[in-house]
Amino acid sequence: MTALPLTSLGTILMVLLTFYFSIRVGRMRGKVLAPATSGDPEFEKAFRIHYNTIEQLILFLPMLWLSVGYFGDTVGGALALVWLIGRLMYMSTYQKDPTKRTPGVLLTLAPLAVATVGAIIPLVQMVL
């Protein structure tokens, strides 16, 4: 059993959500034969949702785990939850109308910013 169950659960859910997005891309591929990634607008939206989520996941996960030592497991779990909600909101709005994706983007970037600050503060404190 991990000492950080909420952050661990959030991490597992983030990976599962990203996997779900990859399944969506596969199902929507339709007439767009690999390796092409364009041709069908619905597929292209699903592809961008998945790819952007991977981009965000790569940034967020290290910052989350570096910041949990400073913030603790409850905040780590909360940051993961907000990130997940932001990604789901992003998916929902982007699939309908990509120009309306901003709220989901911001809700994804907010926990990234908080986690980054939480990762940097202990380093600055150690140096000073």
Alpha carbon distance 108, 128 (integer Å): 31
Q: What is the DSSP letter of 3?
A: S
106: pLDDT strictly greater than 90 = yes
Q: In this predicted model, what pLDDT tens digit does every residue of 15-63 receive, in sequence order?
A: 999 999 999 999 999 889 999 999 999 999 999 999 999 999 999 999 9
Contact partners, residue 48, CB within 8 Å, separation at least 6: 94, 98
Domains of the chain listed by start with CATH number: 5-127 (1.20.120.550)
| 114 alpha-carbon distance from chain centroid | 14
pTM: 0.94
